[in-house]
Amino acid sequence: MAGWTQEKIDKLIASQRKFFREGKTLDVDFRIRQLKKLKKAVQDHEKEIAGALYADLGRSPTEAYLLDTGPVIAETNEMIRGVKKWARPEIHYSGMACFPSMVTRVFKMPYGVTLIISPFNFPFVLTLGVLAAAIAGGNTAVIRTSSKSPHSTALIRKILGEIYPEYYVALVEGGHDTAELLLERRFDKIFYTGSPRVGAHVMEKAARNLTPVALELGGETGNWCIVRKDADIRDAARKIAFFKIANSGQICININQTAVAEEVADSFLKALREEMIRQIGEEPLQNPEYPRLISKEAYDKCAAWADSCRDRIYWGGKGDPETLRFEPTVIYPADPWEAVASQELFAPLLPVVPYRDCEIDALLDLIGEREHGLSLYLFTKDLKWARKVMSSQQYGGGCINEVCLHFMVKGVPFGGVGHSGMGACHGKWGFMEFTHPSTVLTGASFGNLPLREHPYGGGRGDWKLPLLRLFER
């Protein structure tokens, strides 16, 4: 529906709130049926999804399935298999201080009417994957997709319209003004994926209604990758090349800057160039499988960054403003303090920062002083050191001797910290993000002791404090 007004949005939210209060979404079997509908719809529209992603981002059908369609199916499958167990109330022993009321339950309650705001770069998995968590949690959903990916938005509207009534799940299209209208309304939960700058704005708006918020952000100062001198250089180059090519670098968990030990910098650069050529060809701009940037604005920004480092471009550096493709571009040497190595680029640019391997601790201090990234990647044979770093640095998630695959692991959380986000999604963690744990103690009407009641002293109550010390431990 085009032309969303405040009145239409208010009417939509009211209809969802009315439907939620009817209690139908509390039924776990109902949720499973809705998840199965979503999964089947995605499978039925697989070719159309690939076509929409090609029209919006120039992605090939294989990359479309690898990074969007497949993860949505995997996510809904995990929800279908696990939601009955996750939604089951937990039973706890209340403790002797509560005697004789010894049974306490924790109910996993849905928030109610939720707002999902999704980005352009992975319009299906970051919309429908999050929706699966909202459905599993027993909520209704209002979805606002990015206006930058119109073909994907049109298809998402078609898919949702085929399987859900708007009083349950609705897509609200429009630009910035529509997003502002939504944020002015009261929702019971907001899940936003995008930039830290807009994330702060979403939180500010949500705070007016004390609405809980989950944020999936890219990280203000970028995601680091470290290649130590003992790393398998060919393996590191192969994986880093794949990652910078994927979706033309427009990935929130992508590497923004790679720190490479000086001792192996030359061999790494040579291997990286060879891998880029092997995977995407000598002329990436002529390869129909190579994705494009989302808009002219994004292309111009990428080209400007490359031009500012023109004298240090090791490989790549060319673009085509007509197709919005820009080559994977390696910049060497990059200074960790210069702008191109100090922020999220969201483009196929890779600043390579040389460092002395013996000064790795200083590099880690530099990274730690910056805003927390969404991801951290380490390449080294010293797994003991790598695990120590991963267990002491602040970041969302990451990999040792691998890139990006932590996002695809079932049963584990995905999310950021600080400027890279808050909250988590995927599987049970997504279910928990969209539910509130409500603790309920069932009281007994017989066998009650006057332990908690006055008097507390004066002879008649002197025995109470010693018992409380015994029970409340």
Q: Nearest to residue 245, comparing CAs of 325, 357, 364?
A: 325
**pLDDT band at residue 3 under the 50/70/90 scheme:** confident
pLDDT of residue 449: 85
Please give the pLDDT value at position 222: 86
Could you write out the DSSP letters of every residue in 40-93? HHHHHTHHHHHHHHHHHH---HHHHIIIIIHHHHHHHHHHHHHHHHHHSPEEEE
Tens-digit pLDDT profile for residues 122-144: 999 999 999 999 999 999 999 99
- Could you tell me what percent of the chain has a pLDDT over 90? 91
Same fold, 6-219+423-436 and 224-370+373-412: no
Q: Which residues are catalytic?
A: 216, 252
pTM given for the model: 0.95
Q: Is the pLDDT of residue 109 over 80?
A: yes
pLDDT of residue 395: 95
Band (218; pLDDT cuts 50, 70, 90): confident
Q: Which two tokens mark 96? A: 């002797």
Instruction: Tell me the pLDDT tens digit for each residue of 67-107.
Output: 999 999 999 999 999 999 999 999 999 998 899 999 999 99
Q: What is the pLDDT of residue 1?
A: 47
For residue 144, give the H/E element and its range: strand 140-144
Domain boundaries 6-219+423-436, corresponding CATH code: 3.40.605.10
Q: What is the pLDDT of residues 353-406, one digit of tens each?
A: 999 999 999 999 999 999 999 999 999 999 999 999 999 999 999 999 999 999
Give the tens place of pLDDT for each residue, 26-70: 999 999 999 999 999 999 999 999 999 999 999 999 999 999 999
Mean pLDDT of 199-224: 94
The string of DSSP letters for 328-363 reads -EEE-S--TTSGGGSS---SSEEEEEEE-GGGHHHH
Which one, of 235, 262, 249, lies nearest residue 399 by Cα? 235
Domain layout of the chain by residue ranges: 6-219+423-436, 224-370+373-412, 443-471
Section 169-173 average pLDDT: 96
Return d(Cα 139, Cα 443) in angstroms, integer: 30
Edge-to-edge strand ranges of the sheet holding 257-261: 313-315, 329-331, 349-355, 257-261, 224-227, 373-379, 395-400
Residue 2 has pLDDT above 60, yes or no: no
CATH class of the domain defined by 224-370+373-412? alpha beta
